[in-house]
Structure 1
């Protein structure tokens, strides 16, 4: 016996386990199948209704599709209603069975009962395919011009689906769409405006010309809504039809974008909305938010933009978390338009860092990062460091990267810059896996010799207090090795952070060095830094007991299971033998100041270790073609960019080359896990990886090729062969300042026919959020018309963000003439 829907719901809710629920659903599904097979017409609508509930729970329900079509063809309204509901839930526009329902829809669109017509219009608005839209558009148009307001609003919503499926039909329905705006019924007016909004979103450039003339109509309607007295039918919390007001504002935003005349026409009414809307209820806040979005999107007056930002400032004081979040999110978008106005609310934004809600703290932090400039860097950096203490561990690396970037750009003094980075590493050095910040601090310390005594003392006492912060330990060990002799001097007087501290004796230095290397959290990288510091200290300390302890420390790693540590210990131990006395001082001399420009150039030139260097024109001819073209490295021509035209030439695959050796690996990177290839015996100077290398090509020019919604593409140009200026390396570096990670990233590049191209593989397919890393890819080109024709580049970017695939194209034509 078939049970009722309410009994099925009761039985499912009574289940204690998932297995019990599956058993109930399986039994009921079997009974429904049997009823369908037996052509049970009496309870068909009940069975379909139960099937819809089963579908909502995620169980198979496709076997009921044909029964929905039978219900639609029935004469009874209640059966039709269940049939149409099942049609919209169980089918989509890709189902072949959908073609069978077109005739039933056409019949119902001409039904004498307006509620049956409404059901069919609703179905069209949800599942219409392109073919169905073309077949039914005439009947929909009839209802779009109807005198029945109920059918007009349903027809307008159906048209949204129709025009999405078949955009070319729009131009035949401009007059009926305009007629919707003359209706005095708010429902018809609301759906008509929604239809216009959808058309502008589908193709703003193509449709904007059809609707520029409606701006005065919308402005008049909005002004009427603001001035109308209490109307019970449309009143929401004392505000007249906030839904219609929000829709009108959304439409005005699209119409006023890049349109000075339309923007001028709506400025006054926007000011009226911003000043006269009640903010004590959510309905008023929704209108104000949409008003602010409209003001910031159109060509509005500066005073109006300040008013909009002040509204967002008031939102920040609201007790509702959602309103504060929306305000922070909107301020992040508008700061580029009027930064001084946003700066006036800086204190309120900073207070949001103390909010219990993590999402609000994160948004406030991003906004603070955008607010940083030369005048407020010290106060905002302090607030960001305070937030760093309580931030989740997974966010700390990205946050440290942002703080370091802001401090580097706006630091008032080198001393403050160094102190801030040391404080940051003291707070969260254990969370930093990237050595970039540590290496930057080392370079900064190197460049300021007058502060070496102060910095080494500060780092020494900070490390002694907390050895668990690995990034801090690495910087400290490096500085102790280089400037350990300064610890024997008294720290500079008048330093608050070093009050009560005195000169450090040699044995205390060795004790801290030993404890940091043997600390439970110490890694092989930490021990490598420590061994290098130990061998350096043998030439900087004088106490015999301390020197003996250093020798024992180095020797203790001669049998280490880590190959790198073992090799260091053996080589360092050999260096301490008497036979090397004559050159030991030179080998252990302080490191010269590191030229980061040369380091970055070397890194960019060795991004792809599988690519052979292309230095002559013939190398482009010698490069073999791949077996199958790669989707991520596409060679195209400007005549047939990204589809159309001739078939793209296959990408040239570069030959393999041995990996490049980084002479600064001891300082900035982790020990390599790969065994070294056999080489000839190296001179003693090469023990610590400090021998000079062949001259590196000076860094080339940098240009910004693309920037949109937080994604930036920087190009670094270099000439690998001075004798052949036609060859250029273009290192494409992508960074992501948005809060969302970009996945499945693909770069496609196109050049004119006179430019020959070899694309190296990318360094990855993911660009982390919040500037947490970068993706790089190198293009090697030869301009066969060098000196006659410039370099031009067309790019296509593809990536996935939050499950949504995004594509964008851009042209880069600002290459320097010398390239």
Structure 2
């Protein structure tokens, strides 16, 4: 800045630089700010020159990091100064101190407009710079037409028109509606005929932004862009000042080719032929030279040309030429060029008919795995992963396994995952697949995720021919003196299931198998010990009576009976008792059933792992390719498609967490890394009737007095209109005209989230919405995960939560745009005010290209989320039960149309609904007594008691009694439980919730001959 004649500013800057500490500087700044404030109060005596000096001081103080809360008016007023030095200060300081929402900017609009429409080109440039720097809605609405006139004016100098183009670009990015495409497209095409390359370069930046937003309106600009490329690349009609190291305006070439990539295709054959001639010239005329600057410019043009060739899907000959050129680049010494060559070759994998050509460079790509630059190594890994198929899978996987030993620790987990995926998809035979995975675990066990060894277990389980080979290989690895813990897990599991197949082989007797596994026990962590205990039990099950081996295994079980780890202790106790029962052990520990055929979770994990990388083509290619012979073969003879279930009363069978068994299989649930297999049959020995007829089962009565129909599982929408249960989680939107269809069953997703706290709520080809929730008393915190699944952004994203009256909900702001392959999180706070079954609705919409999606989803903030199970003693139960004498605090109803289920399954259902089944309170094995605590802001903690009486002769009906201290809670809880038990017809309307003063009529009292009549009086 010019300081001539401004000695005061120069002295002030010197004083600041001479301050010894921060405190001295602050005192000097406060003193100067006080002086400036005093002078501004006497503004009538200040000249423009004096204002300029003080405004410079304000700007310098602002640049030091101090707040300047005055003087803005003086800075804005300098914009109207007649002389350039004062006007320049006004524009600079206003740009720095004010943002687009500042009120003082309104005072400057007229002055800025006067400079724009004036004849002084210097003032025009100052004004355009200010408008471009600040932007804002008011500037755009007031000044955009004048800026457009400058751009298309033939009387303005190129300097002004360049700034006008960049200013209009800034205004368009902030407010796209300032440029009307219908009226501006012809002007844009006319501007592209400009001869001045400076104006043309700035205008091309504007065109790139315009066509990225709406290419349909700018088709007339496409042939003009091709002519510009012809002028630059073929004719080289470029002034010397726009030539960079002999390359004609590389910046304009890059921008022009970038604009062409936003047009989907080129229909005119002459235009297409001209464009390909230019691209051919660029491809042929680019080579690696010693001058780094020239390399950078020429390769910027080249790689943009490659992108355009791929976009236009050129003929195979040109694509082959591109691959050959990239093959030369990945062999040069310059690391940046090698990186770009590998990256673009990976992108070309998505093109047809070039994969075989890329395979010719496989040796050089493998060499890039040893490059000193980790970025190049990553790109080489992605390229090898993408180009792998059945023909070269063995070679590539072998190279990757060799590279694994020397790979960076930061890459090993990703590398292990990709090796596992390639081995699974392109295995010529399953024994090779097992060899690869076991080698992988042996070389990089610490970096092999559980999903990988779970997957190999699935293959071995589902393919009987593979089981002897897998067991033998597992034994070979266990014989090694030192192996990773993951290898111990997978080997122990396989040998536990299939070691009996090897019994006749030398060195594979049960005792020898046990010895080699037991040698690893001291070296493993507590998470692996349960698998080893399960393996010992299985070995014991398959062994002919061998007292010595049996005593050794029993000694181990007894050792862990007092282990502090609950999982280990439970297994040891249960296996010890089961092993003493002979045949029972074989029934309980029967061979694991075959896994249902499901899509591999490894590819999904690979996509998540690579979500932050710049190029996703390799992952896309893997997802698009067909699966290989290494599919999981399922048992086609299973009843109803469900695997057989081991009969084991509440004993946990050891297996892996997160395996691909269907969790919906009857009697099987996952918990704490195990499959809990429960006996679906109730105990055959009834409990003794300690109280005689006092607790005998109640007879199932006729319908309630009111003759009410069974309630339907409906939810009111925002206007109170009922929603049919077939919609479930999906609320109707207009006529459901969305062309984008959801993936998966939305109803099942909703029901699953009602019983668990995390999962996917909605998914379609473009977006995935997940939920993770935490519930404490009457408070809930949900996090909505919005994931963009594509390489283009989702725009116009909008989300509104429509809460029912009993919920207070606050959703954080959802961004209007979700970037490609990105995930955003939006917390949702929930407070339960009253008991109710009404549900909140999430109304969300977004745009993807021409697809507009608007969907209403029910949120799983259901009644059971505000329940907390509690165990009550018999004394507490009867005391509370008797105190709640009858309606409306205690309601009873006979429920018909119940889904038939064993009592054990009903117990599990209640547990998932946060309802605690209290055993021993009712010795009748056909009855259940349930307790829970409900939390809301109005009721706080409210104890709820439920009694379920079933009819052994007819499982489709039962009598339910619900009691609590709040009438509304009693009714809502009764209806909620009934909805979970009944197969609800889809046509019956949902009844309105009765008020506490008007409860629904209860069931009639039992007949005098009913043996449960006395119980009805006490309970």
Is TM > 0.5 for Structure 1 vs Structure 2?
Answer: yes
Could you tell me which residue of structure 2 aligns to residue 238 of structure 1? 246
User: What is the match of residue 570 of structure 2?
Assistant: 567
Corresponding residue to 1:211 among 204, 216, 221: 221
**What is the aligned counterpart of 1:533 among 532, 535, 546?**
535
Give the TM-score, by structure 2 length. 0.57
Residue of structure 2 equivalent to 1:687: none
1:706 touches 1:713 (CA, 8 Å); kept in 2?
A: no
Question: Structure 2 residue aligned with 1:517, among 492, 516, 521?
Answer: 521
Partner of 1:88: 95
Displacement of 1:464: 4.9
Q: Map residues 26-175 of structure 1 onto 2, 5 A cutoff.
A: 27-28=28-29, 31-32=32-33, 34-39=35-40, 45=52, 60=67, 63=70, 65-144=72-151, 145=153, 146-164=155-173, 165=175, 166-175=177-186
The answer to whether structure 1 residue 414 and structure 2 residue 430 are counterparts is yes
Question: Which of these residues, 541, 554, 558, is aligned with residue 557 of structure 2?
Answer: 554
Larger-Rg structure? 2
- How big is each residue's C-alpha offset from its partner over 1:576-607, in whole Å with a ceiling of 9 and x where there is no partner? 22xx2344344444434444455757247999
Taking a change above 3 Å as real, the CA distance of residues 347 and 115 of structure 1, as seen in their structure-2 partners, is: farther
CA–CA distance in structure 1, aligned partners of residues 669 and 78 of structure 2: 63
Q: Distance in 1 between matches of 2:710 and 2:130?
A: 62
Alignment of 1:639-788 (within 5 A): 639=735
Give 1:798 deviation, angstroms: 6.8
Instruction: Name the structure 2 match of 1:286.
Output: 300
Per-residue CA deviation, residues 507-553 of structure 1 (Å, 9 max, x unaligned), is 6543443343332x5132x1111110011122345665443221111
- Which residue number corresponds to residue 809 of structure 2? none
- Mapped to 1, the partners of 2:323 and 2:845 lie a distance apart of 33
* Equivalent-residue separation in structure 1 for 2:416 and 2:798 (angstroms): 28
Q: Does the aligned pair in 2 maintain the 1:736–1:770 contact within 8 Å?
A: yes
Q: Which residue of 1 aligns with 2:231?
A: 221
State the Cα deviation string for residues 123-156 of structure 1 (Å, max 9, x = none): 2223233332232234324422134111121122
1:385 and 2:401 are equivalent in the alignment: yes
CA contact (8 A) 1:234 1:241 kept: yes
Query: Partner residue of 1:459?
Result: 474
State the alpha-carbon separation in 2 of the partners of residues 544 and 147 from structure 1.
104
**Separation in 2 of the partners of 1:312 and 1:306?**
10
Residue 135 to residue 811, structure 1, CA distance change in 2 (3 Å): closer
* Bigger shift: residues 207-216 or 57-66: 57-66
Q: Secondary structure at the match of 1:428?
A: helix
Hey, what's the Cα distance between the residues in 2 that align with 1:536 and 1:134?
Answer: 78
How high is the TM-score relative to the length of structure 1?
0.69
- CA displacement at 1:569 relative to structure 2: 0.9
Q: Which residue of 2 aligns with 1:319?
A: 333
CA gap of 1:295–1:91, structure 2 versus 1, over 3 A, is farther
SS in 1 for 2:104: helix
> 2:14 & 2:310 partners in 1: Cα distance?
49
| Deviation (angstroms), 1:10 | 11
How many residue pairs match? The answer is 665
| Greater shift in the superposed pair: 542-551 or 263-272 | 542-551
Q: Which residue of 2 aligns with 1:335?
A: 349
2:49–2:86 contact (8 Å) kept in structure 1: no
Q: What are the within-5 Å matches in structure 2 for residues 439-450 of structure 1? A: 439-450=454-465
Whole-angstrom CA distance in 2 between matches of 1:333 and 1:26: 59
Structure 1 CA distance, aligned partners of 2:499 and 2:258?
A: 65
1:23-68: CA deviation from partner (whole Å, max 9, x where unpaired): 7468536634642452286565566556656666766456564443
What is the CA–CA distance in structure 2 between the aligned matches of 1:21 and 1:225, rounded to whole Å? 61
User: Aligned pair in 2 of structure 1 residues 539, 277: CA closer, same or farther (>3 Å)?
Assistant: closer
Partner of 2:388: 372
Deviation by residue 1:543-564 (Cα, 9 ceiling, x = unmatched): 6544322111111111122222
Task: Determine if contact 1:624/1:654 at 8 Å carries over to the other structure.
Answer: no
Counterpart in 1 of 2:741? none
Q: Per-residue deviation at 1:307?
A: 2.4
Deviation at 1:410, TM superposition (A): 1.0
Which of structure 1's runs of 4+ aligned residues deviate more than 6 A? 9-12, 604-609, 626-629, 650-660, 711-714, 733-742, 745-749, 769-772, 795-799, 805-808
Distance 1:748 1:68, change over 3 A: closer
Question: Which of residues 501, 507, 510 is equivalent to 1:503?
Answer: 507
Given that 2:844 and 2:854 are in contact with CA atoms closer than 8 Å, whether structure 1 keeps it comes out as no
Partner-residue secondary structure (3-state), 2:712: helix
1:200 paired residue number: 211
Structure 2 counterpart of 1:271, from 274, 280, 298: 280
Question: SS of 1:602's equivalent?
Answer: coil
- Is the 8 Å Cα contact of residues 510 and 539 (structure 2) preserved in structure 1? no
Helix, strand or coil: the match of 2:560? coil
| Residue 267 of structure 1: how far off its partner (Å) | 1.1
1:478 corresponds to: 493
CA–CA separation in structure 2 for the residues paired with 1:174 and 1:770: 32
8 Å contact from structure 2 (residues 474, 491) kept in 1? yes
Structure 2: runs of 5+ lacking an equivalent? 1-5, 41-45, 290-294, 599-641, 644-659, 671-708, 721-727, 739-745, 757-761, 771-784, 802-814, 824-842, 856-1019
The CA deviation at 1:2 is: 9.0
* In structure 1, C-alpha distance between the alignment counterparts of 2:23 and 2:183, rounded to whole Å: 52
For residues 399 and 216 of structure 1, do their structure 2 counterparts lie closer, same or farther at Cα, with a shift above 3 Å needed? closer
Q: Deviations over 1:414-464 (max 9, x none)?
A: 11111111112223333345x332222112223454554443343234245
Alignment CA distance shift 1:652-1:58 (3 Å):
farther
Describe the shift of the 1:235–1:653 C-alpha distance in structure 2 as closer, same or farther (beyond 3 A). Answer: closer
SS state of the match for residue 564, structure 2?
coil
CA RMSD, 1 decimal: 4.9
Q: In the alignment, is the contact (CA less than 8 A) between 1:114 and 1:151 conserved in 2?
A: yes
The verdict on how the C-alpha distance between 1:178 and 1:384 changes in structure 2, with shifts beyond 3 A counting, is same
Q: Is the 8 A contact 1:510 1:549 kept in 2?
A: no
